[in-house]
Amino acid sequence: MEQERMKSMEEMIQAAQQAAETIQTQMNEAQAKLDAIEVEGVAGGGLVKVRCTAKGRILGVSIDDSLMKPEEKQMVEDLVAAAFNDARGKADRVSNDEMQKIQSGIGLPPGFNLPGMG
C-alpha cells in the first residue's frame, strides 16, 4: 500500500515537472513572438512616429521634416515622448492579448500571473 502511494506521488511529481517544462517552452515562444510583432506609436497627427516591438524594443523613430527647426525643438521633444508613450501602450495591449491566449491555451485562469511573466 505504501509503495503504491509513493509511486503515485512520483508520477504526480513527474507530471508536474513535465507541465512546468511545457509552460516554460510556451512562454519562451511567446516572448520571441512578442519581439517579432511591430506596433507604431503616433503623435502630432503623424508628424512623429515610433516603431517598436510588442515586447517594447524600439525599432525606429520618424520625425517629419517640417518639425526640423530650432524653434520647434520643445514641440518635437514633446511629440517624441507622446509617440513613445502611444507605442508603449499599444505594445502593452498586444503583449497582454498574446499572454492571455497562451494562458487560456494551457488552462490557466484569466489574470493568473506566472512568475517572471507579468
Q: Mention the CATH class of domain 2-105.
A: alpha beta
| Per-residue model confidence as pLDDT tens digits over 72-90 | 999 999 999 999 999 999 9
Q: How far is CA 112 from the centre of its chain?
A: 16
Interatomic CA distance for residues 98 and 30, integer angstroms: 7
CA separation for the pair 109, 107 (Å, rounded): 6
Phi–psi pair at 50, nearest 5 degrees: -130, 125
State the Cα–Cα distance between residues 94 and 6, nearest whole angstrom: 45
In this predicted structure, the answer to whether residue 6 has a pLDDT above a threshold of 90 is: no
Q: Quick one: cell of 19?
A: 507541465
Q: What is the pTM of this model?
A: 0.68
- Domain edges within the chain: 2-105
User: Whose grid coordinates read 516603431?
Assistant: 51
Q: Which residue has the higher pLDDT, 34 or 3?
A: 34
The 3-class SS string of 20-40 reads: HHHHHHHHHHHHHHHHHCEEE
Work out the average pLDDT over 63-80. 94
Position 116 scores a pLDDT of 53
